[in-house]
Amino acid sequence: MDPVIELDGLEVRFGQRVILKKLKAALTGRSVGLLGPNGAGKSTLINTLLGFHKPSAGTARILGRDVRTKAREVRSLVGYMPENDAYISSMTGVHMVRMMAELAGLPREHAIERAHEAFFYVGLGEVRYRAIGTYSLGMKQAAKLAQAIAHGPKVLFLDEPTNGLDPPARTRMIQLIQEIRDRGDLHILLSSHLLHDVEDCCDQVLILKDGNVAAFCNLEEERRANRRFLELETRGGNNGDFLAAVVKLGCETAPGVQGRIKLVMPEGLDVRQLYAIAAGQNVQIRRLNHKRDSLEDIFLKAMENPDGRL
Amino acid sequence: MAVYKKTYRPYEGELTPSWSRFLVIPRYAFEELHGKRFLTIFFLASFIYPLICALIIYVQHNTSALSLLGVQQGARGLISINVTFFMSLLGWQSMLALFMASFIGPGLVSPDLANNALSLYLARPFSRVEYVIGKMSVLAILMSLMTWIPGLLCFGLQGYLEGWQWMRGNARLASGMFFGSWVWILILALLALALSAWVKWKPAAGGLMFGVFFVGSAFGAVINAVQRTRWGNLFNVGHLIGVVWVQLFEGSNQTTNGAVFFRAAQDEVLPLWTCWTALLALALICLYMLARKIRGAEVVR
């Protein structure tokens, strides 16, 4: 599959400081998460892809277009929702989105139509004629999303889209992003330091630390792999015999306290076989969980590397 | 389908030519300015002087109107339609243009910077240069309507009434009006945008516009007086423009020393090339100031 975003030794310097250090990655997912602690270089990477910063070495390509030489073409493919408040305070919401769509190249009548559509789509239909400076934080976030999608981009950059949102507003924003992703009309690059946002919306994740790629993984594959990782809580019988029988089936096990066992099942082994063995050993399986928070584990492991390098 | 039932869909339609997109900015700016009563009244009032000039030209060529005024002979001596007449028109209108630029200019860039809107503009296929040209065109269009367009209309009226010979003989007045206005418009527009980009408080930016012209000329006069020199006029933008206008209107056969509001004492006139150089330097400083501020993302080094 052709990469949506390709980082080819991308380096960005601000004066003497190296912010992005020769990043290399090929992002192919429909929705890619960009994770990292504050100051890792997430926003700088997005700004560089938009052509706001010039790479000091290497380059990046979006849908095959080089951001160094074809910045204008790249920007015509992209919709951008910035991290900070960004609006024209004197304009009404729909007026601003309409102007932004026209600047992206839409003829006036199409821009009007799509600005209204985008506002209804993000749930601001009723307030679209209010000055955007009077919007609440949640409304401003939604308005930023509206201006990012109004011109129908092929790639959507979302920089911390749930920043400052209360739980219902966050849920609504995540639902919108999922809905856009699931329609399959565009690719999403979502930058966040919130693991749950990325886990909920993305199928690939690029983790940055100190300007390096600390980890790059396919969440779908990780999720599939995690189906083999179980946590059991057992009662009664001889736990040792049960463990030995499970090991004989090819499982890797790690016994814990109070009858808790972590195990990794081999390919082809069904969970029902564990229940059958437990029944034979007179062991009760009180609880069985598939492993959760896989992204958190990946993230923490990535953060353990001293300079963030893989 | 009702608009509220629609969902997200990609755009596959036609696009406008990229060269024309900067015109979106003045269109929206004029919509906004149209709602400001004071500016609308001021703009309309700025046509009073050109209308008076047109009336004078008409009366000068209308014998029945002259007889009503009791002037039968020597009508041409009433008010001469010559280089002073047109330079006065340009001088008045240019001063009004300065006021207009001071009222509108500060609100052009500073709100975008204060609310981080630049990242929205520049994340589109829309460059920094186009952004600046778009914002400048707001001022350029308004100031054109106040300066060279009425000036050329008056010139055309005089030429129509006076005849082709007069037009040919005084073509330099028209070119001087056109190019002289544009020098002033570009300087004002660049200065207004640069101050708007650096001074976020609009009244302060507007005040600074006046400061550059009036405080600059006062500062220049002080230098001239203290140092017994004429080089203090380098800080007097009005003087610089005046010298350039005289050259554009009259060439080497100079009979005036500038227009109303834009003239200097005869013995203090700076060489033409220094005036052009100083204006060019001012424009370059403004461009540098804009280049530093107009960015999609601010770099913290």
Quick: pLDDT tens for A177-215: 999 898 888 999 999 888 888 988 998 999 999 999 998
pLDDT score for B74: 58
Whether B11 is covered by a domain: the verdict is no
Whether B211 is covered by a domain: the verdict is yes
Residue A199 distance to chain B (closest CA, Å): 23
Whether B16 is covered by a domain: the verdict is no
Q: Are B8 and A50 in contact (CB < 8 Å)? A: no
Whether B4 is covered by a domain: the verdict is no
DSSP letters, A252-271, are: EEEE-STTEEEEEPPTT--H
Whether B298 is covered by a domain: the verdict is no
For chain B, 301 residues long, give each residue's pLDDT as a single digit of tens.
Answer: 455 556 777 888 899 999 999 999 999 999 989 889 999 999 999 999 999 999 999 988 887 777 777 766 655 666 788 899 999 999 999 999 999 999 999 889 998 998 899 999 999 999 999 999 999 999 999 999 999 999 999 999 999 999 999 999 999 999 999 999 999 999 999 999 999 999 888 888 888 888 888 898 899 889 988 988 889 889 999 999 999 999 999 887 877 777 778 877 777 888 999 999 999 999 999 999 999 999 988 776 6
For residues B111, B116, B122 and B124, what is the CA-based torsion angle, rounded to 10 degrees?
-100
SS3 of B86, please?
helix
CA dist., res. B13 & res. B165, Å (int) = 54
Q: Kindly give, in sequence order, each residue whose CB lies less than 8 Å from that of residue B80, ignoring residues fewer than 6 positions away.
A: none
Domains of chain A: 5-89+137-223 (3.40.50.300), 227-291 (3.30.70)
Least Cα distance to B28 among A270, A100, A249 occurs for: A100
SS3 of A138, please?
helix
Q: Are B296 and A47 in contact (CB < 8 Å)? A: yes
Q: Which of B15, B21, B115 lies closest to A87 in CB terms?
A: B115
Does B228 touch chain A if contact means CB atoms closer than 8 Å? no
Length of chain A measured in residues: 310
Roughly how many angstroms between the first and final C-alpha of chain B, as a whole number?
51
Whether B12 is covered by a domain: the verdict is no
> Between chain A and chain B, how many beta carbons pairs sit less than 8 Å apart?
129
Number of compact structural domains in chain B: 1
CA dist., res. B125 & res. A72, Å (int) = 5
CA dist., res. B99 & res. A306, Å (int) = 60
Whether B119 is covered by a domain: the verdict is yes
- When scoring B119, B121, B126 by the number of chain A Cβ atoms within 10 A, the one with the most, hence best to mutate, is B119
Residues of A in contact with B122 (CB under 8 A): 50, 52
State the residue range of the domain holding B187.
Answer: 22-61+76-293
Contact B85, B79 (CB under 8 A): yes
- Chain-centroid distance of CA A301 in Å reads 17
Residues of A in contact with B121 (CB under 8 A): 100, 103
Residues 83-112 of B with CB under 8 A from A: 111-112
pLDDT score for A191: 94
Whether B13 is covered by a domain: the verdict is no
Question: What ipTM goes with this model?
Answer: 0.86
CA dist., res. A60 & res. A48, Å (int) = 9
CA dist., res. A30 & res. A186, Å (int) = 7
Q: Are B8 and A121 in contact (CB < 8 Å)? A: yes
**DSSP bridge partners of A12:** A20
